[in-house]
Amino acid sequence: MSVLVYINSNGEKIAKNAFEAVTYSKKIGDVTVVTNGKADDSMLAQLGKYGASKVLVDRSFEGIDEQQITRLVATAAENVGAETIVFSNDLIGKAVAPRLSVKLSAGLVAGATGVPQEDGTIPVNVFSGKAHGFVKVNTDKKIIALLPNSIQPEETGADAAVEEFNGNAGDSRVTVKETKLPEGDIPLPEAELVVSGGRGLKGPENWNLITDLATELGAATACSRPVADSDWRPHHEHVGQTGVAIRPNLYIAAGISGAIQHLAGVNGSKTIVVINTDDEAPFFKAADYGVVGDAFEVLPKLTEAVKKFKASN
């Protein structure tokens, strides 16, 4: 079976979710990757180590215009005869996959967590991660949007061949006036450790309580929607149903009550630790560990404990 994977590259590095998507797709069939921009050939060739046989790169346009990417992937799918098209279920995947589904009359499985079963069904997260289900696509072509951190990248092969490709993407109708790259060394969707804060921090001037702990843990930082809406933190740190969905090994939430919209973006976390003064906060019901206490007291003590542990090991 021919499988096409779209990855986004900013030209500096390949994201972890790209390696996840290629590893996942190799379990289904023969993998071709398509991308756009000016990423270095040697960097793109690394995708072969995770299962890609070749990489098609359209250097005629950069950026993340959904319409251009939709046309690019549609052209590539026809070129390689792809029966299955795979995206990471990130912001780009969520925007492009539905458009491509309509364009190709292909069934779409969003939020996949595993490979197709023997009966053709695909495991997915449903109801904002509160339950698991299986979806079967009856169209000739199918599109799968893989939930980030659902599969561990595996190196299984050698470098892939990189080929120039004209994806007939056309011109963009979008004018980009300014681009701001996310701050921090660890991209939030890929982070295995995340420290997050809410309105309980009382203001942006207290955010060092979050960043200090995150630095000691080697974690990414995140926030609730009210924090982002109040401009305490940038919106790319907002996790939740309308923000970034994450699946870290450890999620520490301080001063967040746990509204259903927030839980929808974090309930894939393997371990959740909640710090809140309100012992009736809804978040405690979803927590693996809970601390009823003031974040202004708990976070500094936790940070100091991590420092001492690191110093003694």
One-character DSSP codes across 219-262: -EEEE-HHHHHTTSS-GGGBBSTTSB----SEEEEES----HHH
Q: Which two tokens stand for residue 202?
A: 């009382």
The reply to whether 92 sits in an annotated binding site is no
The reply to whether 256 sits in an annotated binding site is yes
Task: Tell me if residue 132 falls in helix, strand or coil.
Answer: strand
The reply to whether 59 sits in an annotated binding site is no
Q: How far is CA 153 from CA 49, 122, 182, in A?
A: 10, 19, 23
The reply to whether 258 sits in an annotated binding site is yes
The whole-angstrom separation of Cα 305 and Cα 301 is 6
223, β-bridge pairs? 197, 238
The reply to whether 243 sits in an annotated binding site is no
Q: How far is CA 211 from CA 146, 208, 218, in A?
A: 30, 5, 10
Q: Which two tokens stand for residue 5?
A: 């994977």
Q: DSSP letter at 145?
A: E
**Burial (0-12, 13-18, 19+ Cβ within 10 Å), 220:** buried
The reply to whether 259 sits in an annotated binding site is yes
The reply to whether 255 sits in an annotated binding site is yes
The whole-angstrom separation of Cα 286 and Cα 288 is 7
The reply to whether 247 sits in an annotated binding site is no
The reply to whether 261 sits in an annotated binding site is yes
The reply to whether 186 sits in an annotated binding site is no
Q: Which two tokens stand for residue 40?
A: 């270095």
Annotated binding-site residue numbers: 199, 224-225, 255-262, 276
Annotated binding-site residue numbers for FAD: 199, 224-225, 255-262, 276
